[in-house]
Amino acid sequence: MEKNTGKPNQQEAKQEDLSINKSDGTNKFLTTNQGVKINDDNNSLKAGERGPSLLEDFILREKITHFDHERIPERIVHARGSGAHGFFEVTNPIPEFTKAGFLQEMNQKTPVFARFSTVAGSRGSTDLARDVRGFSVKFYTEEGIYDFVGNNIPVFFIQDANKFPDLVHAVKPEPHNEIPQAASAHDTFWDFISLMPESMHMIMWLMSDRAIPRSYRMQEGFGVHTFRFINEANESHFVKIHWKPKLGTHAVVWDEAQKISGKNPDFHRQDLWEAIEQGNFPEWELGVQLIPEADEHKFGFDLLDPTKLVPEELVPVTIVGRMVLNRNPDNFFAETEQIAFHPGHVVPGIDFTNDPLLQGRLFSYTDTQLSRLGSPNFHEIPINRSISPTHNNQRDGHMRQEINKGRVSYHPNSLGGGCPYQAMIAEGGFSSFNERIEAHKVRQRSDSFTDHFSQAKMFFESQTTTEQNHMIKALRFELGKVENTAIRSRMLGLLSQVNLELAERVATGLGMKVPAQPEKPMNHGVGADDVGTKEPKEVSGDIQISDALSMIKNPTVTPTIASRKIAFLCNDGVSEASVMGIKKALLEQDAKACIIAPHLGFVSTEEGGSIGVDFSFFTASSVLFDAIFVPSGNTQLALGDNLDAMEFINDAYRHCKIIGTEGDGIDLLSAPQFLAKGDALIDGGIISSSTVGDAGFASEFINAIAGHRYWKREEVLNADK
Ligand code: HDE
């Protein structure tokens, strides 16, 4: 009987399982793959010192052959990603809603591996593309694998799986010239979107700062589809699954994102890796919105429609546990690349709904692993292997690892004593929820799926002015890159149905007018025989404003600067007391202080000593830091002549970052080249103290950094109404 034993601390079980496959060459001989010790790994076997290589050289042939086959196809979507190990811990058991073994007991721990990704770009593309982020978590439960395969945005572009290849073809680089990489700002994407009004809610999210997170650690996760939880009594509740980051949800700004892409395309990957190495373990709370079966039709939208979310004001999120990522992989390929997620990997207590997007996904994921990982035995790859034992009658195939004993590989059998035997439901056997279905076979979309604008409008109108401005600029950028004006015009027509001011302000940026009569979408969502039968519905909604949708309206519950990076702009003659005092205060809060100077090595200090330099202005950039500090020092003002230093301060100012100065450090901001000109533009995001070592200053500076950005500055900077 292998039903969940409810053992509370299984968190190391997956590491123990992986350990049998780990290899370490320290203090070992170099060998071939056949175990033969190698005497010379530098020279191939030749007929004479200057002669031809010999085919006989099995060492050379084996090494080159393996190298030739080192690459596997990248994921068709979500190719660029990064992951880590950790655990999930129950903080609020919910046996009344689900019998899933890993959610039953307080403090019960389950090992997990999480992978975060962008969607459109290739494996080597930038982390900071404007894109949805994949958010996948493999739970190694005692009842088998449960995969959460979600995104950092709670809705999706399309309602039916049949449109997914079209969507992905439209957003990927255009097929004739393979341009642009990891970007939606091109004609084919917006051509498709302009003909798909159902995508408008998702487009609002994609044009918001949610699509350019500050860090993988500072983003939410959503299951998108409505799933089911099933309890022991076989009762079903609809469930929407959320991950809420402990560090709060934060983003960068678009100008910053584009610069990061050049300065450090591995920005998110490195941030995740370093945070874990430094012991700042990323953490999320797992929350659920639970809806009784009887309430299925209670809402103004359809729970099966993946372009809709359930506003938290209508159904609150109940927190049930937390996930902590505390261990980096040993090997990127073996773990992060070979991990294979599948929304169809569920355990008893979790089940599907008839969301037509989800239904299509249930087919796609195993299918894609067959070509990506090359064999139906991908479940045997160590990172994919279940920690609960597997026994069945599946056999053979490429690269089979398991050695199945006995003569029986079929069921039912008598020769093997009927083994392996089926599990009763009470023994943990999976049985699908017995939903009653009585229907005609049709290729049609439900009328309840035709309201495409209410929630798009709710999302836009729930944002703060700062966030709305960012969305308008994003649309001006994206549509500004579209060459075909008919596509731009169709988009303006769709935007006008979300919010007229939004459409008009985007139109101003494009130098166009919002069309008086939005163009009717062609063939949208219906078959050729049904054109015109299902128009998008007029705007109506359950609620108009949902504050939960705004990042700025929801500051971090426990503000912290842990793992934030602060650049100290230094020059020869800097005050050591100023640098060391603030550095100490930041380190005490687990933040990172980096010394940036015109050259590497050391800078001499006012006091006659020296301070080690982490980066020169040439190798660092403001966009790679959360805030900057200009210490006191009588030659600091000379930094104003350094072009890179000037760009540093201008960018920090423009991206609404907190800038701290001590003593005469403030003078640097008065250099005429800087956007921030000392007293003239001092705002709430510039924290200064005229004296060095003022404890009040350090805590004010720290509190301001914990607030992420001083967005109010944009009112002065962006007079672009
Ligand atoms: Fe995926 N998706 N998807 N997707 N998806 C893949 O599977 C697919 C969708 C998501 O870190 C692929 O192993 C179809 C929604 C994530 O390894 C592929 C449809 C959501 C990841 C696939 C969708 C997702 C994938 C490519 C529409 C959010 C990365 C490689 C019917 C709920 C997992 C792979 C990882 C990956 C198909 C829509 C999330 C081809 C057909 C909606 C996070 O199977």
Q: Evaluate if residue 6 carries a pLDDT over 70.
A: no
Query: Does the beta carbon of 138 lie inside 6 Å of ligand 1?
Result: no
Distance from C-alpha of 103 to C-alpha of 95, rounded to nearest angstrom? 7
Query: Does the beta carbon of 78 lie inside 6 Å of ligand 1?
Result: yes
Mean pLDDT of 586-608: 97
Shared domain for 629 and 672, answered yes or no, is: yes
More confident site: 542 or 505 = 505
> Which listed residue (4, 78, 268, 342) is catalytic?
78
Mean pLDDT of 712-721: 74
Domain end: 549, 584, 615, which one? 549
Residue-wise pLDDT tens digits, 398-444: 999 999 999 999 999 999 999 999 999 999 999 999 999 999 999 99
Active site includes 78? yes
Q: Is residue 576 part of a domain?
A: yes
Q: What is the pLDDT of residue 4?
A: 44
3-state secondary structure (DSSP) of residue 97: coil
Q: Evaluate if residue 719 carries a pLDDT over 70.
A: no
Say which residues have a Cβ less than 8 Å from residue 219's Cβ, sequence separation at least 6.
Answer: 116, 133, 135, 152, 210, 213, 245, 249
Shared domain for 481 and 601, answered yes or no, is: no
Q: What is the pLDDT of residue 536?
A: 77
Domain end: 515, 549, 583, which one? 549
Chain mean pLDDT for the chain = 94
* Domain enclosing residue 490, as ranges: 462-528+535-549
Q: What is the pLDDT of residue 656?
A: 96
Active site includes 297? no
Shared domain for 542 and 582, answered yes or no, is: no
At 529, is the pLDDT very low, low, confident or very high (cuts 50, 70, 90)? confident
- DSSP letters of 290-343? EEEGGGTT-SSS-TT-TT----TTTSPPEEEEEEEEEE--S-HIIIIIT----T
Mean pLDDT of 543-558: 93
Residue-wise pLDDT tens digits, 347-400: 999 999 999 999 999 999 999 999 999 999 999 999 999 999 999 999 999 999
Q: Evaluate if residue 238 carries a pLDDT over 90.
A: yes
Q: What is the pLDDT of residue 528?
A: 79
Q: Residue 364, class by beta-carbon neighbours within 10 Å (0-12 exposed, 13-18 middle, 19+ buried)?
A: middle
Residue-wise pLDDT tens digits, 292-307: 999 999 999 999 999 9
Q: What is the pLDDT of residue 498?
A: 96
Contact 133, 151 (CB under 8 A): yes
Taking the centre of ligand 1 as the mean of its atom positions, its distance from the CA of residue 165, in whole angstroms, is: 11
Shared domain for 519 and 656, answered yes or no, is: no
Residue-wise pLDDT tens digits, 72-103: 999 999 999 999 999 999 999 999 999 999 99
Q: Is residue 110 part of a domain?
A: yes
Shared domain for 479 and 601, answered yes or no, is: no
Q: Is residue 197 part of a domain?
A: yes
Shared domain for 521 and 645, answered yes or no, is: no
Taking the centre of ligand 1 as the mean of its atom positions, its distance from the CA of residue 142, in whole angstroms, is: 25
Q: Evaluate if residue 522 carries a pLDDT over 80.
A: no
Shared domain for 517 and 577, answered yes or no, is: no
Pick from 121-135, 144-158, 507-521, 652-666: least confident: 507-521
Shared domain for 627 and 522, answered yes or no, is: no
Of all residues in the chain, what percent carry a pLDDT higher than 70? 96
* Domain CATH for 648: 3.40.50.880
Task: Pick the residue whose CA is nearest to atom 31 on ligand 1.
Answer: 161
Q: Is residue 67 part of a domain?
A: no
At 518, is the pLDDT very low, low, confident or very high (cuts 50, 70, 90)? confident
Contact 214, 252 (CB under 8 A): yes
Q: Is residue 507 part of a domain?
A: yes
Q: Could you give the number of structural domains in the chain?
A: 3
Mean pLDDT of 563-585: 97
CB atoms within 10 A of CB 365: 16
The alpha carbon of 666 is separated from its chain's Cα centroid by a whole number of angstroms, namely 38
Query: Does the beta carbon of 518 lie inside 6 Å of ligand 1?
Result: no
Residue-wise pLDDT tens digits, 618-640: 999 999 999 999 999 988 888 98
Enter the tokens of residue 54: 């010999």
Distance from C-alpha of 491 to C-alpha of 489, rounded to nearest angstrom? 5
Q: Is residue 679 part of a domain?
A: yes
More confident site: 719 or 468 = 468
Q: What is the pLDDT of residue 532?
A: 63
Q: Is residue 454 part of a domain?
A: no
Query: Does the beta carbon of 341 lie inside 6 Å of ligand 1?
Result: yes
Residue-wise pLDDT tens digits, 161-185: 999 999 999 999 999 999 999 999 9
Taking the centre of ligand 1 as the mean of its atom positions, its distance from the CA of residue 346, in whole angstroms, is: 16
Q: Is residue 470 part of a domain?
A: yes
Q: Evaluate if residue 541 carries a pLDDT over 50.
A: yes
Mean pLDDT of 40-53: 97
* Domain CATH for 495: 1.20.1370.20
* Domain CATH for 278: 2.40.180.10
Q: What is the pLDDT of residue 680?
A: 60
Domain end: 384, 403, 420, which one? 384
Task: Pick the residue whose CA is nearest to atom 6 on ligand 1.
Answer: 77
Shared domain for 637 and 514, answered yes or no, is: no
Taking the centre of ligand 1 as the mean of its atom positions, its distance from the CA of residue 77, in whole angstroms, is: 7
Report ipTM for this prediction: 0.98
Taking the centre of ligand 1 as the mean of its atom positions, its distance from the CA of residue 705, in whole angstroms, is: 35
Whole-angstrom Cα Rg for the chain: 28
Q: What is the pLDDT of residue 521?
A: 63
At 284, is the pLDDT very low, low, confident or very high (cuts 50, 70, 90)? very high
Shared domain for 213 and 346, answered yes or no, is: yes
Shared domain for 539 and 573, answered yes or no, is: no
At 3, is the pLDDT very low, low, confident or very high (cuts 50, 70, 90)? very low
Q: Where are the alpha helices (DSSP H) in 536-624?
A: 576-588
Of all residues in the chain, what percent carry a pLDDT higher than 90? 89
> Which listed residue (151, 469, 499, 642) is catalytic?
151
Shared domain for 510 and 621, answered yes or no, is: no
Q: What is the pLDDT of residue 356?
A: 98
